[in-house]
Amino acid sequence: MTKKQLDFLTWCYERGAKEKKDKLSSIVAASLMKIHGLPLGEKRFSNDKFWKANVPPSPTFRECELLDHWKIRPWFSGQKAAFNKKIEKARQCAVESITSVNIDEASSDDDENSDGENE
């Protein structure tokens, strides 16, 4: 999961945790991912900074980043403490995977540079 996806899941979960009437189903959450970053999303949630449209307007999530409701559903099934613990663990994994990719890319760049120097 990406940080953007985790931020979105957190927003959805917190919305329902604060006000029962605002609770979102996993199906609704999945459909909202498609309009995040667009003027339509900003209009729907006009009082919420999280829904500010991107400039220029473009969806926040690429097609490959959209989560279907089956992936979202388990995130919404626990208590707040359990949700927060799961989110924190997922955020750590996301940071670690980004760090390892950057380190791997840097080491492959070094390998390429050192090969050229030996010739």
Query: Mean pLDDT of all residues in the chain?
Result: 84
* Model confidence pLDDT, tens digit, residues 22-40: 999 999 999 999 999 999 9
The residues near 61 (Cβ < 8 Å, ≥ 6 apart) are 4, 5, 8, 33, 34, 36, 37
Cα–Cα distance between 17 and 30 in angstroms, integer? Answer: 18
Mean pLDDT value across residues 89-113? 64
Cα–Cα distance between 51 and 40 in angstroms, integer? Answer: 9
pTM of the predicted model as reported, rounded to 2 decimal places = 0.73
Mean pLDDT value across residues 82-86? 86
Cα–Cα distance between 104 and 82 in angstroms, integer? Answer: 33
Q: Which of 94, 95, 93, 77 is nearest to 12 (CA)?
A: 77
Q: Which one-letter DSSP state was computed for residue 38?
A: S
> Is the predicted pLDDT of residue 104 greater than 80, yes or no?
no
